[in-house]
Amino acid sequence: MLNKVILIGRLTRDPELRYTTNGIAVAKMTLAVDRPQFNKEKEKEADFIDIVVWQKQAETCANNLGKGRLIAVEGRLQIRSYDDSQGIRRKAAEVVADNIRFLDWPKDRENQGGSSFGGSGFGSEISFSGDDIPF
């Protein structure tokens, strides 16, 4: 049997970090994933999928991700049942993430021109005077 899900999409809101009574970190977030086809009005539609992340990865996501960030999620589909506030039995589908990859940079990092290599950022302008060019 196989239960494997791979999704790429954008976060609809900042991750929500909580801790269990045993001190284990758990983050919940919602991922908007575009559907491959257009609707009748020629507009793209999206599915909004609940993601659950545990332990250290949950803390990393909560500290580094925010609304609109592009991520890839690899995990498994989980269906759970619960009773709502009126006592009605409900089901919820969510993806329990095994691995999350950040696929873009945060907006403020792009504006600063920073890079993880300590340079001025990929594609930044370098100014030369006529005497600086060696040829």
pLDDT for residue 41 is more than 50: yes
**Element spanning 117, H or E:** none
pLDDT for residue 100 is more than 90: yes
11-37 residue pLDDT tens: 999 999 999 999 999 999 999 999 888
Which two three-digit tokens encode residue 58?
């949950």
Q: What is the pTM of this model?
A: 0.74
* Cβ 9 vs Cβ 71: under 8 Å: yes
| Domains (range + CATH), the chain | 5-112 (2.40.50.140)
Mean pLDDT score of the chain: 84
pLDDT band per the 50, 70, 90 thresholds, residue 42: confident
Phi and psi (nearest 5°) for 57? -65, -30
Tell me what the mean pLDDT of segment 101-125 comes to: 56
Look-up of token digits 């969510």: 94
CA proximity to 98, closest of 41, 51, 63: 51
How far apart (Å, rounded) are the C-alpha atoms in residues 96 and 98? 7
Which two three-digit tokens encode residue 105?
């940079």
Phi and psi (nearest 5°) for 104? -145, 175
52-63 residue pLDDT tens: 999 999 999 999
Higher pLDDT, 112 or 91: 91
